[in-house]
Amino acid sequence: MAPINVTDINENKAYVPAKKALPEVETESANGNEKCKGYSYETLLETANFLLSRITIQPRIGIICGSGMGSYWNEGSLAESIQDGVCIPYEDIPNFPVSTVEGHHGRLVFGKIEGAPVVAMQGRFHYYEGYPLWKCCLPVRVMKLIGVKTLIATNAAGGLNPDYKIGDLMIVKDHINMMGFAGNNPLHGPNDERFGPRFPPMNKAYNYEHRKIAKEVAKELNINNMVREGVYTCLGGPNFETVAELKMLKMVGVDAVGMSTVHEVITARHCDMKVFGLSLITNECVTSYDHDMEANHEEVLDVGRMRQDILRKYVSRLVDRFSQIEPESP
């Protein structure tokens, strides 16, 4: 089978061979007082073509693996269950960041789940690692260029809703972009219409049909008693939240709190990708000053391991069902 390139998938006229690294594009803001950095469309085409030259499938579904799905370990995880997997380390991919979080695999895995072609990120990039949001979201745009139509974004989150229990799964129905309130947005800077519009709507950020299917699948797997639906928010991290911060978030309707996902979803919707979000509730948010418990990263990993078997079965079934409503490649 001949290697695929981005021109074949997206009918783009631009095609250039991949290089190991290219400089970031730097442009001035409208008022001339600020420098904005980002990779150009052509640069990301090079990254996409590099990946397509090393695989023989065209993934339609992209998965960002959070804790419990293979971001920290392989055994028993969703990432490990990908059939005919081709693994490409981030450090080998032109223009890709490298994960700095201890234990992250840091690689893309191409293959099939339930017969559906997928690409999975084992390890994501976080704002608290020092990466700007546009760079954290770079893999999402690359996924778009290689043919991905649907993004499944998973994460570990603290449960702020008092009805949530540790180990529950939350289907994300909406988010509150707290970082965006401060002007920190992955779409900040000059817009390239080849990715999407200058002012993308977000009122349908999380696909309704996918959320409906996810509830049906939870019943089929007899896990509907642990599957919730709620509102997620992302804070910058790396510190966990204060009691006052959590009380404020609860007042505005947040059900779960994490340090990722929102900016990835914004970028995916800007690219006209369908999005499904899923949070694993790994700890209970402390909203009382009289409470002795403190949040820590170890419990996040422990709960991820505890729920990885359920997550693998649940997300695998979702991939199968989502792929059935996704149109075939031309």
Residue among 81, 155, 283, 323 flagged as catalytic: 283
Give the number of other CB atoms < 10 A from CB of residue 110.
23
Q: Of 139, 56, 132, 60, which Cα lies nearest the Cα of 94?
A: 139
Residue among 24, 129, 245, 326 flagged as catalytic: 129
Residue among 72, 77, 104, 256 flagged as catalytic: 104
Residue 210 annotated as catalytic:
no
Residue among 48, 156, 178, 256 flagged as catalytic: 156
Cβ proximity of 258 and 156 under 8 Å: yes
The residue assigned the tokens 């696909």 is 207
Q: Of 123, 153, 135, which Cα lies nearest the Cα of 61?
A: 153
C-alpha span between 97 and 47 (Å, rounded): 12
Residue among 77, 260, 279, 316 flagged as catalytic: 260
Residue 175 annotated as catalytic:
no
Residue 129 annotated as catalytic:
yes
State in Å, rounded, how far the first CA of the chain is from the last one: 16
Residue 11 annotated as catalytic:
no
Q: How many residues does the chain have?
A: 330
Residue among 18, 116, 259, 268 flagged as catalytic: 259
C-alpha span between 5 and 145 (Å, rounded): 9
Residue 81 annotated as catalytic:
no
Residue 260 annotated as catalytic:
yes
Residue among 71, 81, 90, 126 flagged as catalytic: 126
Residue 67 annotated as catalytic:
yes
Q: Of 122, 123, 48, 114, which Cα lies nearest the Cα of 82?
A: 114
Residue 263 annotated as catalytic:
no
C-alpha span between 317 and 323 (Å, rounded): 10
Helix (H, G, I), strand (E, B), or coil: what is residue 256? strand
Element (H, E) at 181: helix 178-181
CA–chain centroid gap for 142, Å, is 12
Residue among 67, 155, 177, 207 flagged as catalytic: 67
Residue among 185, 229, 297, 299 flagged as catalytic: 297
Q: Which residues are catalytic?
A: 67, 104, 126, 128-129, 156, 259-260, 283, 297
